[in-house]
Structures are given as C-alpha cells and as structure tokens.
Structure 1
Amino acid sequence: MTYEELIEEAVQHGLDIYEMPLKPRIKGLYSNDIIGINKSIATTIEKTCILAEEIGHHFKTSGNILDQSKIENRQQENRARSWAYEKLVPLDAFVQAHKQGIKNRYELADYLGVTEVFLDSAINRYIEKYGTHVTFGLSTIIFEPLGVLELFE
C-alpha cells in the first residue's frame, strides 16, 4: 500500500493528515482525528510506515499515551503498531511474495513498500502472536528463518 493510498483511506475515515516540522525524534503524532507526520522524514516508504502506525492509534488507542513508563500506555502503543503491521505486512503478502520469487528480507521490504526495520518488527510481532510459523491457506509461513512452504492441492 502506498503513502497516497494510505492517506486516501485515512481521509475516508475522517482523519486529517498534515506533514509538519516536528522535533527530529518525533516521527508522527495522533490526536483527535489529526495525524502529523514529521516533514523531515526522508523517504515516502518511511512516511508510509509512520502513517500506518498513527492510523492504528486512531483505531486502537484512547487518551494521552505519551508517557511510555505506564504499562497501559505501552500496551496501547503495541496495539497501534500491530494494526500497522497487519495493514502493511499482512500474512497473505508473504505467500504472494513467495509466488513472485522474492528471495530475501530486503526484496520483501521493497516488494511491500516498507522499511526493513518495519518488516523486521512486523515479523517479530507475528512470532509473538503465532510462534515460529503459521498456516495460511495451503501455505505455511515460517518466520525464522523466513520462508513459505506450499502444500500440494
């Protein structure tokens, strides 16, 4: 999913998206149906990953969760990130990438339009959720080492 497509989807859900100058360590913010994306982020691919997480906050969090020393806030942050992972790196994408001949994580990140860091975080989240592998249709997605096994029909 491209940055522009994600913006369109967010607008359909009543969100306003603004690219604005933010402190360098702040990549994105969400509050009251408004998402701010740090204007200084260099690539559209990274902006896509940040935007997906901020949209995840719209759907999965409530209130001010900036204080990450509180466990409830960290849990809400994880729910927003999980939403973003499932949006940009859905399980069927592993199977489709396998069928397209994608051979490594770098190629997979490029194919999905996400950063390698985001892809690695998504894989780690899937490992937390499913363990080392998950069956998806006639395929088994193996997260470590990353691969897909296809069963005969």
Structure 2
Amino acid sequence: MNKLEKLEQEAFEDKVKIHDYYLGEESLKGIYIDGNIAINTSVYNTTEKICVLAEELGHHHTSVGNILNMEDLSNRKQERQARLWGYNKLIGLTGIVNAFESGCQSAYEASEFLEVTVEYLQECIDCYRDKYGICTEIDNYIIYFIPNLAVMEKV
C-alpha cells in the first residue's frame, strides 16, 4: 500500500469521505467540511495529492468550526495545527533521519524518498524550525534546522 492509499484508508476508517471537486480556483488545493474532504481537480499529481490529503485529514483531527477567515488568530493557530499534523504524519523527525540514513543529499532526493513535494518538505522544515529552534534530538541523532537542515549521528 502506498502513502496515498494509506491516507485514503485512514480517512475511510474515520468515516471521512474524499471527493475530487473543482473548488473554483487553482490556488485552493483542498478543503475539509464536516467529515468531507474535497481535493481540487487541479491537483492531478499523486505526490501533491498526498500532501493535500494529509493536511485536510489534519483539519479533521485538529480543527473546530469554520476557520476560513485567516485574519482571526485562533483560525491561524488551527491552520498551523492541521499542517503540523500532516507534517508529522508524512515526514516527522524520524522521516528526516531516515532520509539522511538513506543517503539523500538534497531536498529533491529527500522529498522523493519521503513521497512529498519539495515545497511541502520545505514548509515542514520551516515549521519544525519555528517549533524546535536551532536543533532537536531524536534517538541517537541531532537534527539541525539553522542555518540549514543537517542531521548528525551522536557518537
């Protein structure tokens, strides 16, 4: 089962329906409303669809009410939580370490390994940098976010 199929299975088990639907503009990739996820028909690339579905499942798990107005601080926080849920689901700190261990040398290689878009990976790294600061530790590794992403194994 690939990542898209796993996310679709998770949605099914959570009784969330997924619809391919034109959302009226190309920049809006997906939306979650009351147990339904609409993914814009403009999202035709499987990797991009994985990223959109993960974020919308994040809304299912973390958001409450209508959060479309991004002028509202509470809505922006809920948007960030949904994105963080998706980043943790698709990448996580362990995924960054696994990409390093697999010999990935660039963002492109790491995104291919993790089955996410390069943009999604960069947004994840930016979010983790905001959350953890300069670096964080996981298992036997230190992940540095500043000045650039780097992973070092502890001796």
| Higher alpha-carbon deviation: 48-57 or 89-98 | 89-98
Please give the TM-score of this superposition, normalised by the length of structure 1: 0.95
Unaligned runs of 5+ in 1: none
Question: Distance in 2 between the 1:125 and 1:52 partners?
Answer: 15
Q: Structure 1 residue 9 and structure 2 residue 40: aligned?
A: no
Q: Measure how far apart 1:67 and its partner are.
A: 1.1
Per-residue deviation, residues 72-106 of structure 1 (Å, max 9, x unmatched): 11111111111111111111111111111111111
Root-mean-square deviation (Å):
1.1
Indicate which of 106, 109, 112 corresponds to 2:114. 112
Q: Provide the residue aligned with 2:152 in structure 1.
A: 149
Q: Structure 1 residue 29 and structure 2 residue 31: aligned?
A: yes
Q: Measure how far apart 1:69 and its partner are.
A: 1.1
Please show how residues 4-153 of structure 1 align to structure 2 within 5 Å: 4-23=5-24, 24-144=26-146, 145-152=148-155
SS state of the match for residue 64, structure 1? coil
Question: Distance in 2 between the 1:75 and 1:135 partners?
Answer: 25
AA at the equivalent of 2:67 = I
Please give the TM-score of this superposition, normalised by the length of structure 2: 0.94
Higher relative contact order (CA 8 A, sep 6+): 1
SS state of the match for residue 81, structure 2? helix
Question: Distance in 2 between the 1:71 and 1:130 partners?
Answer: 21
Question: Distance in 2 between the 1:146 and 1:100 partners?
Answer: 15
Give the total of aligned pairs: 152
Unaligned runs of 5+ in 2: none
| Higher alpha-carbon deviation: 17-26 or 129-138 | 17-26
Percent of pairs with identical residues = 38
